[in-house]
């Protein structure tokens, strides 16, 4: 297998393209922070509206389900629009949902606001990646995608902790007003510096079924499903794991999350450069191998928090290699007419994986504790590796026999 990417030295991203990619990264930062800030602001939300923590946490699930359904459906109904216009529409809807959250008089309106935010986000995340990849030459797509997805890593490192601080200091309403303002600012930046040159592709329901029926694509979607199930199975329980197995407190948890965010950013920057020299499959296998090995090491660590922090550096580094590389691989194996729906389905599988992995961990932790959660997470990552092997086998077989995979035009 050729692990090296072709012609890495010919790649060059112009300053104008880089400004456009950073504007798209800002939009991803706002979306990720607004989407996940509920997790760090549960207490403030519960206090503001007189809710239980379970009711507040349910707002996360509402967003996730809406996003998972809205990502492919958004491409069916709005995929014909220019990609920049899709993103701007998504930012407007997302910002309106955040403003509705801030002004909500009751829980029903809060739930509706999360549906609105989920619908907006469904037009942002998948389209940002497609738009960013189409702004540059083919050999620069890996670096471009990593730059766009750096916004997610920065949200984890700074956005979500900052959101929790704002909510706890000034209240959840102020936080979501800030999210609405940030959405407007990101949309303005995109309108100013991102060229409106990437055309959308009309998508039909039949094409959604066509993508899901394609073996190499379906197994590629399963890669991201099992990766997120394994990663978020552990991440969702990082707080009780530190509390129960390492006897830490809230400050230790905050430090762990900060370390994860910083190391994740380093991993994202690394993959942006490595994408010029290595194939997506090689980077995915490397990241999965590091992640599984690191989690096995974590299971054997003594109860010293310093050692756990060190292991989390490698855990976050490997995790942030996987996500942009998986997106890059979807771009590479999908044809241009189905790229938008393929990326939308990737995001849908991602959120399904987050929900499934977290639910499995929630069921296992009370029964089998730390070791049960870690074993299940590692099992999911091994299934991701198996899915990657299957997808790559099917891709190579299709390349060797292209005539056998040509579908008649309809």
Taking only the tens place, the pLDDT of each residue in 145-188 is 888 888 877 887 778 778 878 887 898 999 999 999 999 999 99
Structure token pair of residue 128: 């940002």
CA distance 251 to 169: 17
pTM score of the predicted model? 0.72
Look at 236 and 222; give whichever has higher pLDDT: 222
Q: Count of residues for the chain?
A: 410
HSE-CB at 96 with a 13 A cutoff on CA atoms is 11
Question: Which range among 205-209, 224-228, 233-237, 250-254 has the greatest average pLDDT?
Answer: 224-228
Residue 40 has pLDDT above 70, yes or no: no
How distant, in Å, are the alpha carbons of 34, 90, 130, 257 from that of 175? 9, 20, 29, 20
CA distance 146 to 142: 6
Residue 407 has pLDDT above 60, yes or no: no
Residue 1 has pLDDT above 50, yes or no: no
User: To which H or E segment does residue 137 belong?
Assistant: none
In contact, 123 and 81? CB cutoff 8 Å: no
- Model pLDDT, residue 53: 59
Taking only the tens place, the pLDDT of each residue in 214-233 is: 888 899 999 999 998 898 78
In contact, 83 and 20? CB cutoff 8 Å: no
> How many Cβ atoms are within 10 Å of 63's Cβ, its own excluded?
25
- Model pLDDT, residue 383: 96
- State mean pLDDT over 269-276: 82
- Model pLDDT, residue 409: 40
What's the pLDDT band for 410 if we cut at 50, 70, 90? very low
What's the pLDDT band for 408 if we cut at 50, 70, 90? very low
Residue 6 has pLDDT above 60, yes or no: no
% of the chain surpassing 70 pLDDT: 92
- Model pLDDT, residue 403: 58
Look at 178 and 402; give whichever has higher pLDDT: 178
User: Nearest CA to 313 among 372, 349, 266?
Assistant: 266
- Model pLDDT, residue 39: 66
User: Nearest CA to 377 among 260, 233, 245?
Assistant: 233
């Amino acid at each position: 297998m050729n692990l090296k990417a072709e012609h890495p030295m010919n790649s060059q991203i112009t300053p104008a393209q880089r400004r456009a990619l950073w504007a798209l990264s800002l939009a991803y930062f706002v979306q990720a922070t607004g989407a996940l800030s509920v997790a760090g602001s549960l207490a403030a939300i519960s206090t503001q509206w007189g809710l239980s923590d379970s009711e507040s946490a349910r707002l996360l699930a509402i967003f996730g389900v809406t996003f998972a359904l809205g990502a492919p459906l958004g491409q069916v109904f709005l995929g014909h629009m220019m990609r920049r216009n899709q993103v701007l529409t998504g930012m407007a809807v997302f910002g309106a949902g955040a403003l509705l959250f801030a002004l909500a008089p009751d829980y029903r309106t809060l739930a509706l606001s999360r549906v609105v935010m989920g619908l907006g986000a469904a037009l942002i995340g998948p389209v940002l990646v497609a738009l960013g990849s189409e702004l540059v030459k083919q050999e620069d797509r890996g670096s471009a995608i990593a730059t766009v997805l750096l916004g997610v890593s920065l949200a984890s490192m700074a956005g979500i902790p900052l959101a929790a601080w704002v909510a706890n200091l000034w209240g959840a309403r102020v936080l979501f007003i800030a999210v609405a303002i940030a959405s407007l600012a990101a949309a303005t930046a995109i309108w100013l510096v991102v060229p409106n040159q990437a055309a959308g592709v009309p998508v039909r329901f039949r094409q959604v079924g066509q993508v899901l029926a394609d073996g190499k694509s379906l197994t590629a979607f399963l890669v991201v499903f099992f990766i997120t199930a394994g990663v978020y199975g552990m991440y969702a329980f990082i707080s009780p794991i530190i509390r129960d197995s390492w006897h830490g407190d809230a400050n230790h948890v905050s430090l762990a999350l900060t370390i994860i965010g910083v190391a994740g950013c380093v991993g994202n920057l690394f993959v942006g450069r490595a994408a010029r020299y290595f194939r997506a499959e090689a980077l995915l296998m490397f990241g999965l191998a590091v992640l599984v090995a690191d989690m096995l090491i974590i299971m054997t660590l003594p109860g010293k928090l310093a050692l756990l922090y060190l292991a989390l550096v490698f855990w976050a580094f490997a995790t942030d290699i996987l996500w942009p590389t998986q997106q890059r691989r979807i771009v590479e194996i999908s044809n241009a007419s189905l790229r938008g729906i393929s990326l939308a389905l990737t995001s849908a599988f991602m959120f399904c994986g987050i929900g499934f992995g977290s639910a499995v961990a929630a069921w296992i932790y009370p029964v089998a504790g730390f070791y049960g959660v870690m074993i299940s997470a590692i099992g999911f990552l091994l299934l991701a590796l198996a899915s990657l092997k299957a997808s790559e086998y099917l891709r190579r077989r299709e390349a060797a026999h292209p005539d056998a995979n040509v579908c008649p035009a309809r």
